[in-house]
Amino acid sequence: MKKILAALGAILALLVIVVLVRTAQFTPDPIAAGVSAPTIQVDAETAARHLSEAVRFQTISPQPPQGRDREEFEAFINWLSEAYPLVHQNLVLQRISDQTLLYKWVGSDPVTKPILLTAHYDVVPVVPGTEGDWAHPPFAGDIVDGVIWGRGSLDDKSAVIAILEGATALLKEGYAPARTVYFAFGHDEEIGGREGAHGVAEYFMSHGIEAAWSLDEGSFVLEGFFPGIDTPFASINIAEKGYVTVQLTAHAAGGHSSVPPKETAVGILAEAILKLQNNQPPAKMDGPGAENFTTMARHMSFSKRILFANQWLFKGLLVKEMTKEPFTNAQLRTTTAPTMLSGSIKENVLPIEAIGVVNFRIHPRDSIASVVEHVEKTVNDPRVDVSVINNSTEPSEISSAAAEGYKALSRTVSKMFGETIVAPGMTVAGTDSKSYALVSENSYRFNPMTVTPKDLTGFHGTNESLSVENLQKASVFYAELIKATASNTPLGE
Ligand SMILES: [Zn+2]
């Protein structure tokens, strides 16, 4: 007995030692600091004035899209040609699906695959009645104390302007790319990009064009999001979740509510929804989201690193902890969100049917088909019909974090932002990249701007703004990125 206890004690001690050693060794890779200083000049004041002017065009994508003011979009397109004469003289502009803009900067090397830098210039509406909550009117483009205010100043006119400022700066110094560089600026991203970005992808396909990589909006250089981590964190998203909405229709006999059956259609539906809420597709510590957290965890304190450093032992516990928070949960699984309900038309009339709508965001390990199968199996009630609303998107492929485009992005982040943690990640919402990824070997989702938790409340919300410093830096970023990847000697694999 003593021997057994001693042996158990020894095993336990060994386990503790392994856990502690692994945690101690679980430290950050050296951060590539300041590769070399950026050399391209972008005038901050001009860039700020341009973004301010761009914000004033009310290029709103309303839902439903019928109320869209096409003339505002047209005026914005005309303004672009006046604001960026060098770009319009040197690049070929083509319109796709009427108002999406595809610029082609023809390179001298016809063999190397082109690159595709993208953004969107449509914006979400301002919620009626909240105009007065804005510190500066949403479509005035005020510049106050080094900050540009208004709808679109962050999402995503900032990227349109920064790409064009960067290109202008390069053209001013007589730069000519070796490989071809495309810019695509979508006009309907906020309502799904089914015409704009999708049209660009169709154009590429029908002309046999494939980009080596594309870059679209996504994550940012995040500051102050993670307690205990002071170093800025740049998440370059290499994947995007898919999207499927399922409609559940519960059927039952109608009649007067004074003599109801044991269960009405509403009760049957409620039960089905609860089943889905309580039995979600599994969460796992794999994929880009898990990689993102694991990279970040290397920078945490010793006690917080223990679980991440010893996933061989604590994976289950880690998943349990991470799925408690909506933000981390969404990175590890296909999420389930019941969003809409309808039943009887009158309070005292039994419904003959009740309808519920559940929106799923699909992790790359799952698919539309696997989610629908999961719903049917979980609900498993002949009184409930399951149908799919026709706007689904499969999750994206996972792009390489070792390929040329990622390396160039990562290096340019170091160049522009100094000491920064860079990690691959995943976009949980839908963007135009779902289309661009179809015609690119790899697609990345990242905005070269520093944001704090406060800045993100402006995203689709009130008081959207961007600092002039951020805009200027982003402009130089795109120019440096083009120079690093489209010149005669692009970086090797
Ligand atoms: Zn956006």
Separation of CA 423 and ligand 1 centre (Å):
21
CA of 395 to the centre of ligand 1 (A): 18
What dihedral do alpha carbons 320, 322, 323, 327 form, nearest 10°?
A: 180
CATH number of the domain at 44-220+429-486, please?
A: 3.40.630.10
381 is catalytic: no
| Residues in CB range of 166: below 8 A, 6 or more apart | 40, 42, 475, 476, 477, 478, 479, 480, 481, 482
Task: Please check the confidence at residue 298 and state whether its pLDDT lies above 60.
Answer: yes
pLDDT digits (tens, 9 = 90+) for 6-23: 888 989 999 998 889 888
Find the 455 Cα to ligand 1 centroid distance in Å.
14
Q: What pLDDT, on the 0 to 100 scale, is given for residue 54?
A: 98
Mean pLDDT, rounded, for 329-345 = 96
- Rounded to the nearest whole angstrom, what is the distance from the C-alpha of residue 94 to the centroid of ligand 1? 22
Predicted TM-score (pTM) of this structure: 0.91
* pLDDT category of residue 251 using cuts at 50, 70 and 90: very high
State the distance from the centre of ligand 1 to the C-alpha of 337, rounded, in angstroms.
21
> E-assigned strands of 150-259?
181-186, 211-222, 233-240, 242-251, 255-256
- Is the per-residue pLDDT at 490 higher than 50? no
Residues 122, 216, 223, 480: which is the catalytic one? Answer: 122
Active site residue 419: no
Tell me the pLDDT band of 489, cut-offs 50, 70 and 90. Answer: low
Sequence-distant contacts of 141-147: CB under 8 A, at least 24 apart: 141/51, 141/52, 141/53, 141/54, 141/55, 141/56, 142/52, 143/48, 143/49, 143/52, 143/468, 146/467, 146/468, 146/469, 147/465, 147/466, 147/467, 147/468
155, 188, 189, 464: the active-site residue: 189
